[in-house]
Amino acid sequence: MTPLIRIEDLPLEDNVRRIISSWGITALYPPQAEVIKRGLHRSGNFILASATASGKTLIAEISSLYSLFRGEKVLYVVPLRALASEKYSEISNHLEPLGYKLRISVGDYDSSEEPLSSYDVIITTYEKLDSIIRHSPSWLKDVGAVVFDEIHYVGTVGRGAIVEMTIAKFMDSNPTARRIALSATITNLEELARWLEAEHISSSWRPVPLKTGVFNNDTILFDNGDIIKVDNKEDDDLINLLRSDICSSQTLIFCGQRKTAVNLAVKLANKIGERSKETEELSRRIAEADPYSSMHKVLSDVVAKGVAFHHAGLSHEIRSMVEEGFRGRVIRILTATPTLAAGVNLPARTVIIRDHKRYDQEVGFSTEIPVFEIKQMMGRAGRPLYDERGYGIIMAKSKREAKIIIDRYIKGIPEPIASRLNDMTQLRAQILSVIAMKGQIDMDGLRKFLSRTLFSVQIGVDRIRSAIKSIVEFLAKNGLIEVDDGIMVPTTLGRRTSELYIDPVSAIMMRNSVNRASSLLSAKKIDELESSLFQTLSFLPDMPPLGVTKGEVESFVEEEFNTLLPIEKLPIGSYIDVVRAVKSYYVLKSWIEEMREGEIERRFGVEPGDLHRFVETASWMLYSFSEVSKLCGKKDLAKFLLEESMRVQYGIRKDLIELVKLEGIGRVRARALYRSGFVSIREIARAKPEDLMKVPGIGEVLAKRIINDAKRRISYADPSNRE
């Protein structure tokens, strides 16, 4: 293994050396030492590509110190919310003891986050940074260094364009801030470096060496030619593999679909699971956290035997419990969908890729997973401090397939990271945001702006000249921008659309729905308004699509279809979209009528994680719709929509809107308080902790906290009480 380099032997200033040792670091990993030897930690832009867990975060922290010393701010940008929390706890441990103030900013997309001006380090996501830039806060110019973490996300279908344009916008609004980009190992690093005007460093060093191979029948063939035979006692290859020495420690198994991950976990728990005090304790905690979901019940059962599954259908809370259980080595075998590979840091000794294909919703069948992603998944093998070696194994169904897998995935080179700005839907929203951000711009200016993108480096802006022209015409025709003598200016609706961080098509559909919604409200036809409103939401491009089953299509009753827009103005691709609209209405209606999540899962097949993502976006769309109604002068409708947004956010009837504003009070506790006679904040402010502790689900700490919060809110609401 490559020796580590002692910090004494590196060209570091004394104070920086002292700080690093106060973090318990005495030597640096080779990629870290390389950055320091080249002096890139002190100044200039750089992009570092190296393996998972090779210490990229530390190098970003050391480089950030130089800006912090000068009193400048540091922005740390990551692609996922879960990663933002991980980075926050990691970095705050290092920087808070030095007196720096850190803040994580991921939520609300309609805010300039002005209060962030008092923080030194801001950890955020690409989407949130994009929305912050759209509000042009004063503190952006004080940023002296920006870390673009996991920058290979620019190549992701769907979100890549946002990552790319956010970076381009940041470079435009603050060209002098140092750019520190971190990435997984990639083949076209130079191109990315050219885009960022940065020096590049690439390293193949790994803290734990990795052996990769393919498994078929009873044989594992490794990349270096080694062969290991596995006892084939049973007629199930995977079980035989899991019983071999290679899998004697923690093993992560990637499956192509959620259903496969769940079924496999059940099978493995029954066949090779082992109970312990710790597994039963974790199982009990999972069961208690959500006693109603049938999927969480299955999870709790398998966890009792040291096996778990992990996919986006699990609720956020339960997913974190699984992650914690795996990190704490309570769970020995974890089955997961590929989303895990991209997300949180969960290393295992052995990674098995059961399926190198996955279901693709866009095309409707399974497609091969890119080499880049498979390498990322296998790269998780090998736990620093625990393993001398990690194993990444891909399963093959036949000898012929094994050969194809070796050529493609084991010996193959990952695909280069390619710009996704050719995605017209994303480009449309991004062009509007550039026009809104600039206030006024002509075609040359717009093209010049777009030349700051990776797309321009890789393909050239001229190649999408006509696409840009047609997007501009679309925005002008639909009243989001005005074009006068070649100068493009955002309209009020256009500017607000950009600030609200919604697709221009969503804003146009909302604006076109305002009159019908308003007349239903004036006529007090609330049920009809709610039904058509929720059904219209399902057609907005921002909404995550709900899955529709064959049974739902067959039992569909056409009369229930009802939207705010005439059918010819809706983007209906197929009959399924119509069924989905009605289903969306029923799901949202059940949610705001306080139906339990487990019941929604049982009746509609919507798993908790999907339900949360769905209602979170729906609530945001309703808030945006309320803002659009205000612009159209429909105040009553705006008020109604704002209330609906709150109800959808929390899943509550109207009478709980006040109570859920209190800290720590969600739909279940709010209803319990209400049932016990605490129907308003005023009543809670007057209550004693003992009274509230009689309400189910409320202990002493929470009782005191909500009474204090209620008192604070009341004194704030009454100006005579303010100091």
Ligand X SMILES: Nc1ncnc2c1ncn2[C@@H]1O[C@H](COP(=O)(O)OP(=O)(O)OP(=O)(O)O)[C@@H](O)[C@H]1O
Give the annotated binding-site residues: 32
**108 CB neighbour count, 10 Å cutoff:** 12
Q: Which 3 state secondary structure label does DSSP give 66?
A: helix
Q: How far is the CB of 179 from ligand X (least distance, A)?
A: 17
Question: Of the ranges 49-57, 217-225, 626-634, 677-685, which one interacts with ligand X (CB under 6 A)?
Answer: 49-57
Burial class, 526, CB count within 10 angstroms (exposed 0-12 / middle 13-18 / buried 19+):
exposed
Which of 56/511 has CB closer to ligand X?
56
Q: How far is the CB of 48 from ligand X (least distance, A)?
A: 9
**Interacting residue with ligand X among 16, 34, 40, 57 (CB under 6 A):** 57
How many residues bind ligand X, per CB under 6 A?
14
Question: Of the ranges 51-59, 153-161, 419-427, 447-455, which one interacts with ligand X (CB under 6 A)?
Answer: 51-59
**Interacting residue with ligand X among 54, 131, 212, 649 (CB under 6 A):** 54
Q: How far is the CB of 146 from ligand X (least distance, A)?
A: 16
Backbone angles phi, psi at 78, to 5 degrees: -125, 160
* Dist CA 471 CA 464 (whole Å): 11
Q: How far is the CB of 147 from ligand X (least distance, A)?
A: 10
Question: Of the ranges 55-63, 220-228, 477-485, 530-538, which one interacts with ligand X (CB under 6 A)?
Answer: 55-63
Which of 1/567 has CB closer to ligand X?
1
Q: How far is the CB of 76 from ligand X (least distance, A)?
A: 11
* Segment 289 to 308, residues that bind ligand X, using CB under 6 A: none
Question: Of the ranges 10-18, 53-61, 125-133, 659-667, which one interacts with ligand X (CB under 6 A)?
Answer: 53-61
Q: Which 3 state secondary structure label does DSSP give 48?
A: strand
Q: How far is the CB of 4 from ligand X (least distance, A)?
A: 7
**41 lies in the binding site for ligand X (CB under 6 A):** no
Which of 12/268 has CB closer to ligand X?
12
Q: How far is the CB of 419 from ligand X (least distance, A)?
A: 22
Nearest to 459 by CA among 433, 424, 425, 420: 420
Which of 147/302 has CB closer to ligand X?
147
* Dist CA 285 CA 324 (whole Å): 12
* Segment 652 to 671, residues that bind ligand X, using CB under 6 A: none
133 alpha-carbon distance from chain centroid: 19
* Segment 144 to 203, residues that bind ligand X, using CB under 6 A: none
Burial class, 445, CB count within 10 angstroms (exposed 0-12 / middle 13-18 / buried 19+):
middle
Written as six digits, the tokens of 36 are 């320091």
Which of 121/533 has CB closer to ligand X?
121
* Dist CA 625 CA 628 (whole Å): 5
Nearest to 109 by CA among 122, 124, 127, 123: 127
Cβ pair 191, 453 in contact under 8 A: no
Q: Mark the binding-site residues for ATP, compressed into ranges.
A: 32
Cβ pair 234, 240 in contact under 8 A: yes
* Dist CA 300 CA 284 (whole Å): 7
Which of 252/687 has CB closer to ligand X?
252
CB-based contacts of 615: which residues, under 8 Å, 6+ apart?
588, 591, 648, 649, 651
Q: How far is the CB of 346 from ligand X (least distance, A)?
A: 10
Which of 348/685 has CB closer to ligand X?
348
**Interacting residue with ligand X among 40, 53, 189, 656 (CB under 6 A):** 53
3-state secondary structure 159-184: CHHHHHHHHHHHHHHCCCCEEEEEEC
User: What are the Cα distances from residue 244, in Å, to 73, 222, 233, 699?
Assistant: 51, 15, 11, 48
List, in sequence order, every beta strand (DSSP E) within 191-281: 199-202, 210-216, 219-222, 227-229, 251-254
Q: How far is the CB of 182 from ligand X (least distance, A)?
A: 7
* Segment 377 to 396, residues that bind ligand X, using CB under 6 A: 384
Q: How far is the CB of 49 from ligand X (least distance, A)?
A: 10
Which of 36/656 has CB closer to ligand X?
36
For 175-208, b/e burial (b = at least 16 CB within 10 A) is eebbbbbbbbbbebbebbbebbebebbbbebbbb
Cβ pair 580, 549 in contact under 8 A: no
Q: How far is the CB of 34 from ligand X (least distance, A)?
A: 12
Which of 56/356 has CB closer to ligand X?
56
**52 lies in the binding site for ligand X (CB under 6 A):** yes
* Segment 18 to 37, residues that bind ligand X, using CB under 6 A: 25, 27-29, 32
Which of 27/483 has CB closer to ligand X?
27
Which of 55/392 has CB closer to ligand X?
55
Q: Mask 339-378, x = binds ligand X (CB under 6 A)?
A: ------x---------------------------------
Nearest to 262 by CA among 583, 591, 609, 547: 609
**Interacting residue with ligand X among 58, 140, 165, 393 (CB under 6 A):** 58
Which of 153/585 has CB closer to ligand X?
153
> How close are the terminal C-alpha atoms of the chain, in Å?
65
Q: How far is the CB of 97 from ligand X (least distance, A)?
A: 15
Cβ pair 121, 103 in contact under 8 A: yes
**56 lies in the binding site for ligand X (CB under 6 A):** yes
Backbone angles phi, psi at 124, to 5 degrees: -145, 175
| Torsion 667-669-674-679 (CA) sign | negative
Residues lying near ligand X in the complex (CB under 6 A) are found at: 25, 27-29, 32, 52-58, 345, 384
